[in-house]
Structure 1
């Protein structure tokens, strides 16, 4: 590493995109992922679509109870 870096010609916010969407990575347990992948393939849908549908239903249940 250098002892000094010259940022005098740098431009603040050059790559900032206020409309950018941050997608958090979600890591599933190996058995859960295997199960869901098999179900998604059987239904002919993407894994992310299946997981989102399941989570939406879970949220509905939580909201109904709480």
Structure 2
């Protein structure tokens, strides 16, 4: 469980300001239009455990295992 930071007495618990001035902000300043979009993939807990154990047994990363399994499945589908 995360610990709460103790603030010096007299400081508010909320570090957010009441207002922020975005009048000089530039929309999209740090975004790149050519950056690939990588959607997050959420696995069911039991699937994650099984795949993690299989990846560890094979000595490869979970990412490598999932990609390998998906590529094999897609290849059979064609």
Q: TM-score, normalised to structure 2's length?
A: 0.64
Q: Which residue of 2 aligns with 1:22?
A: 37
Alignment partner for residue 33 of structure 1, among 31, 35, 48? 48
User: Whose helix proportion is higher, 1 or 2?
Assistant: 1
Q: TM-score, normalised to structure 1's length?
A: 0.73
Q: Tell which has more relative contact order, 1 or 2 (C-alpha 8 A, sep 6+).
A: 1
- Runs of 5+ in structure 2 lacking a partner? 1-17
CA distance in structure 1 between the aligned counterparts of 2:27 and 2:46, rounded to whole angstroms: 45
Q: CA RMSD in A?
A: 1.9
- Runs of 5+ in structure 1 lacking a partner? none
Q: How many residues align?
A: 61
Larger CA Rg, structure 1 vs 2:
2
| CA apart distance, 1:55 | 0.3
Moved over 6 A (4+): none
Once the two structures are superposed, what CA deviation does each residue of 1:19-66 show, in whole Å capped at 9, x if it has no partner? 322221111111111111001001110001100000001101111xxx
